[in-house]
A = this chain, B = another copy of it.
């Protein structure tokens, strides 16, 4: 079968570069392969409900530097909807769509893998996660932008921390993987970097804080939102119990700042960057990567290479089975974490 009309969707949390992917797909698809395109709105909700928008060259003009996604996004999972797969098949048929390019993270791509492998819907995947925690690709787009924003924030905190000799705690994104914390913490010259992969000791943090003050500098502590202490009670924000059986009333950043104040007697302040990390214009690196992902995804469609996902290996874009790529979370290697530990304190 040769594809002539291709559907595109973006699912899961948005991140800078989604529009660059879409533009890359459409520009090459239209100009080199004379494909037609249709956009499905809000991730899997689009094909489920037949919510489509036109997607030609005019639609992708000027979107390269814009964050977010012109197609909208959602966390809808067709396998949790009644007759989900059948409805998708019907809507693809109705729109005469021959293949789908799905841009998303573990969940969105997991659906694409099953639809492709089990139900014969031709899907090509493009990996996306702000957290950089997808295995099979060196980096995902959006991550470099997030790291840049967090690093700039940390840069700014040094001078105010030092003027008042205070501790500054910065909470960054990363529920299950500490990549943003690790990269921005290293780049920003943090004195402690706490990641979800390794329970942290509040006592260690306090001793790094104290040692930094002894050198007449003020400490910056970077903590991933999913990091957990091994000592001390961290209670979950939403009132639910955490894995220690505690109710958390605040984010880990604010909690940690209070613990540091209590244990060291030093003032501590917190910054919670939140969605600022995932919004706005992508970095040049992310635009490059996202655009190339788009160009290679449409090549995979042309080659009929379905069930595959594009991925970065070194400076090359390769193809890997989606199912394989989404089976395992890419977390921070303990050896790499140890490597940067030389800068703590």
Binding site for B on A (CB under 8 A): 10, 13-14, 16, 18, 27-28, 31-32, 61-62, 64-69, 72-74, 138-139, 144, 147-153, 155-165, 168, 183-184, 186-189, 215, 217, 249-250, 269-276, 278-281, 283-285, 287-288, 291-292, 295, 313-315, 339, 342-343
Contacts and interface: CB of A to CB of B under 8 A. Distances in A.
B67 A339 contact: no
Contact of A276 (B32, B157, B215): B157
5 contacts: A65-B155, A68-B160, A68-B162, A156-B275, A157-B276
A219 to B, nearest CB: 13
Contacts of A68: 158-160, 162-163
A291 to B, nearest CB: 6
A189 B64 contact: yes
B275 A272 contact: no
Contacts of A314: 138, 313-314
A68 B168 CA distance: 14
B278 A160 contact: yes
Quick one: copies of this chain in the complex?
4
A161 B279 contact: yes
Contacts of A162: 68
A190 B287 CA distance: 13
Contacts of A28: 342
B144 A284 contact: yes
A242 B28 CA distance: 37
A67 B154 CA distance: 13
B65 A288 contact: no
A148 B313 CA distance: 22
A288 B343 CA distance: 13
A156 B18 CA distance: 14
Closest 5 A/B residue pairs (Cβ): A156-B280, A68-B159, A67-B159, A160-B279, A14-B163
A341 to B, nearest CB: 10
Contacts of A138: 314-315
A79 to B, nearest CB: 21
Contacts of A27: 342-343
A31 B156 contact: no
Given A279-B160, A343-B27, A271 B274 contact: yes
A14 B284 contact: no
Contacts of A292: 339
B67 A283 contact: no
